[in-house]
Structure 1
Amino acid sequence: MINLALLIFLVVLFTQIVSWVGKTVLQEVAFAVYSRVFLSGTASKQRQLRKQVLAEKAELGWTSSQDEFAKWAKLRRKLDKGIADLEKINTTLTSSKTSFSVKFNSLLWILMTGSQLFLVWWYRKQPIFWLPQGWVPKPVAWILSFPSAPLGSVSSGAWGAVCKRVLQSVEEIVKAILEPTVVPNGPFPTAPFPAQSQSQPSAKIEPITLEHEKLD
């Protein structure tokens, strides 16, 4: 039998993977696979009708309603019938996709939220593992054993919360590592140099007068 701690971790991991990828993306991929297996005939007929309708529209545009009225009317009736059949197939496929979406979301809820709630409730009194005696204060030990596990042990609910928090921390670390560093464009800002009048008073340069001795 699979270990309970590992089972809860796998359920939480699956939930986080779905959150990372996105339910919409998973649903589109699942429906593409489902339509290829179970709706291949309907999808093929839809493609054929679409090509036929486009060809009939082009031919109808080339036919004059005045000079070739009989041919134009026949093409018009054929085109209307093709459009009606195409709309029926589109409605069928849309209805199938809606029904698949409801079932897929229900299945995801069972595998994610429902399974976690069931495991926490069913194994609420069973300890996942025991903590060393005196390792944590009594209030913390009570929180870790909530709701019904023996005091001093880690309950299924607390273990699931710890697994979820660890996986979220790993996600944040990976995003921080993979996030590109933005380098600002242009020159780096520098402090303005103070004007000469503000930094120190300008020295006044005076002319030097040389006195020559008189020669007798």
Structure 2
Amino acid sequence: MPSLLLVMFILQLSLHIINTVGASTITDLLWILYNKLPTPTSSSSQRARKLRAEIIRLKRELSKVSPQDDFARWAKLDREHKKATDEYQKIDASLKTHQTTFQSTISTLRWLGTQGLRFLLQMWFAKQPMFWLPAGWVPYYVEWILSFPRAPLGSVSINVWGIACASMIALVGEALAATWVLVTHKPVPTKGDPMAYEATTENRTAGEKGTPREEKARQGLKKEL
């Protein structure tokens, strides 16, 4: 049986991934995977993809044929296009009905497997210590907070352990995101950076005018000389 500490950590990590990636994105990916497996909707999904490609092909051919110059071919392509469109709309409507049911089922299972399981564990193991702290390691009020709500004094409760896991996972996620940005993106020079100052100096030497106050001071300096 896996450790309760590990179970809570995996639950918090799963919740963080779902919140970061997005529940709808995960559900859409699962729907695509579901249609690739030998399921009741797999054949309909494949047929819909073929019909969609066929509709696009017929539409392109229709745009190249003039009904005045070649009416027979245009009429044949138009009939094929309408037939494929009608069949695609029927299959697509059926798939959307199945997709709505699939999304509802996945949402329920996702909640039961994450939030529901977490609440159940927190209630069931509320009095069980996750681990014990060394005697006298922290003050009494800290021991009381760490054992909240019903764990033995001097231990860490499952609620506090879950909060600690969620906080640590969020910090690590932000650190990884910041590292990724620093590695893949170069910092843009600001106005006070040396690069910005050098660019400004080069523009001035190239003959660009400064502000009106600078031009006035420059003309006064020339008169004095």
Post-superposition offset of 1:3 = 1.4
Q: What is the distance in 2 between the residues matched to 1:44 and 1:54?
A: 16
Provide the TM-score with structure 1 as the length reference: 0.73
Aligned with 2:126: secondary structure?
coil
Q: What is the distance in 2 between the residues matched to 1:173 and 1:60?
A: 53
Give the corresponding residue for 2:28. Answer: 28
- Are residues 1:187 and 2:192 paired? no
* Cα gap change, 1:59 to 1:20, in 2 (>3 Å): closer
What stretches of structure 1 of length at least 5 have no aligned partner? 196-216
Q: What is the distance in 1 between the residues matched to 2:56 and 2:180?
A: 47
Give the corresponding residue for 1:93. Answer: 95
Deviations for 1:79-136, whole angstroms, at most 9, x for unmatched residues? 5443322211111122222222222222221222111111101100111111112212
Post-superposition offset of 1:162 = 0.7
Q: What is the distance in 1 between the residues matched to 2:7 and 2:71?
A: 74
Give the corresponding residue for 1:211. Answer: none
What stretches of structure 2 of length at least 5 have no aligned partner? 201-213, 215-225
Give the corresponding residue for 1:112. Answer: 114
The letter for the 2-side match of 1:184 is P
Q: Which moved more, 1:124-133 or 1:46-55?
A: 46-55
Give the corresponding residue for 2:169. Answer: 167
Q: Check whether the contact 1:60–1:76 (CA below 8 A) recurs between aligned residues.
A: no
Larger Rg: 1
1:140-179 aligned within 5 A:
140-179=142-181
Aligned with 1:187: secondary structure?
helix
Deviations for 1:161-190, whole angstroms, at most 9, x for unmatched residues? 111111112122222333225140643389
Q: What is the distance in 1 between the residues matched to 2:179 and 2:78?
A: 62
Q: Check whether the contact 1:125–1:148 (CA below 8 A) recurs between aligned residues.
A: yes
Higher helix share: 2
The letter for the 2-side match of 1:161 is I
Post-superposition offset of 1:55 = 5.9
Give the corresponding residue for 1:133. Answer: 135
Q: Check whether the contact 2:52–2:88 (CA below 8 A) recurs between aligned residues.
A: yes
The letter for the 2-side match of 1:25 is T
Q: What is the distance in 2 between the residues matched to 1:188 and 1:150?
A: 63
Q: What is the distance in 2 between the residues matched to 1:141 and 1:10?
A: 25
Post-superposition offset of 1:28 = 2.2
RMSD: 3.0
Deviations for 1:137-167, whole angstroms, at most 9, x for unmatched residues? 2222111111111111111111101111111
The letter for the 1-side match of 2:36 is R
